[in-house]
Amino acid sequence: MPLYRGDGGAGDASTDAYASQIATYAQTATTKANEASASASAASASATAASTAQTAAETAETNAETAQAAAETAQTAAELAETNAETAETNAAASASAASTSASNAATSASSASTSATTATTQATNAASSASAASTSATAAASSASAASTSATNAASSASAASTSASAASTSASNASSSATAAAASETASAASETASAASESAAATSETNAAASASAASASESAAATSESNAATSASTATTQATNASNSATAAATSATNASNSASAASTSASNAATSETNAASSASAASTSATNASNSASAAATSATNAANSATAAATSETNVTNALTDYYTSAQVDTLLATIDGGTY
């Protein structure tokens, strides 16, 4: 009767039966070994894929953080550029206002300079006129003084003539009296004495007439001399006044000329200030334009950085998903959770 010997079935305890059973076991062991090797290779490949995915995830996370920092920096730069643009715009407006004020001041100074120059010309003309009038008055005073001197000389001559005529009249009267006395005392002195007496009386009358005419001429000469002296004094006073006016006009002309020069200098300075203000306004406007462009560029860079940050964050999420998918191909859900908890300190 055959004996039962396990999986080999019933049979005799021969060498062939044992050899067959051992071969079966060996085949099974080889299969299991191959399966174990394949599983080990798959596990190694999964581990490599997980490591690669982890590295990609870490790189994506780093890129996301870098992009986020760049976005924040770009945002700060955009805000600073906007502030600079506003400041430059304010400066441009202030410079434009200063340029307008300087231009107005220059126009006012130019008008003042023109007015002062006109006044100086008028004052110079007045000074010339006053000097001419003073010269004319001085000439008239000299003429009046000469006329007064001549009238005084004439008056003295007339007075001398009157004195001479009076003396002659007195002499003739004395002669007439002597002749009358001689006629009375000597009636014998006939016609000759009477004729001599008549001639003496006639001469006395003529001398008296001449004396009266000389006295009248002397009085007229004295009056003319007094009038001439008064005219000379008036002319001299007028000449002095005219000379004073001429001096005052000359001083006013010099002052007006100085004012005109000062106004012209102020006008030049104001014009220079206006040109400088206009240049400053143009520079400020250019700076404002540049700042506005910088602000626009910074805002664009901030938007680009924000987009890059979003893309990096998406890449990080995709890498995390890839790691999870690679692990679930060879491990259970619980094993995947355990593995993820050990990767990078459990950040996944």
Rg (CA), the chain: 72
pLDDT exceeds 80 at position 86 = yes
What pLDDT score does 127 carry?
Answer: 75
Tell me the backbone φ, ψ of residue 188, rounded to 5 degrees.
Answer: -80, -15
**pLDDT above 70 coverage of the chain, percent:** 84
pLDDT in tens, 277-289: 889 888 888 988 8
pLDDT in tens, 205-245: 887 888 788 788 878 878 887 898 898 889 889 889 988 99
Distance CA(185)–CA(197), nearest Å, equals 13
Contact 110, 309 (CB under 8 A): no
Distance CA(175)–CA(197), nearest Å, equals 8
Return mean pLDDT, the chain: 79
Contact 331, 339 (CB under 8 A): yes
Q: Is the whole model's pTM more than 0.75, yes or no?
A: no
342 pLDDT tier (thresholds 50, 70, 90): low
pLDDT exceeds 50 at position 64 = yes
Query: Which sign does the torsion angle of CA 28, 30, 31, 32 carry?
Result: positive
Q: What's 2's DSSP letter?
A: P
Give the chain's length: 348
pLDDT exceeds 60 at position 347 = no
Residue 308's CB: how many other CB atoms inside 10 A?
Answer: 17
pLDDT in tens, 253-308: 899 889 889 988 988 898 898 899 889 888 888 988 888 898 888 888 888 888 88
188 pLDDT tier (thresholds 50, 70, 90): low
Q: How far is CA 188 from CA 183, 184, 191, 192, 345, in A?
A: 8, 9, 9, 10, 194
Query: Which sign does the torsion angle of CA 63, 65, 67, 69 carry?
Result: negative
Q: How far is CA 198 from CA 41, 90, 175, 193, in A?
A: 197, 126, 11, 9
pLDDT in tens, 2-54: 555 555 555 555 677 778 888 888 888 888 888 878 877 876 776 787 678 77
Burial of 203-230, coded b for 16+ CB within 10 Å and e otherwise, reads: bbeebbebbeebbebbeebbebbeebbe
3-state DSSP assignment of residue 254: helix
Q: Which alpha helices (H) appear in the chain, and where do they start and end?
A: 15-185, 191-328, 333-342
Contact 330, 42 (CB under 8 A): yes
Distance CA(347)–CA(325), nearest Å, equals 17
Q: Which residue has the higher pLDDT, 323 or 59?
A: 59
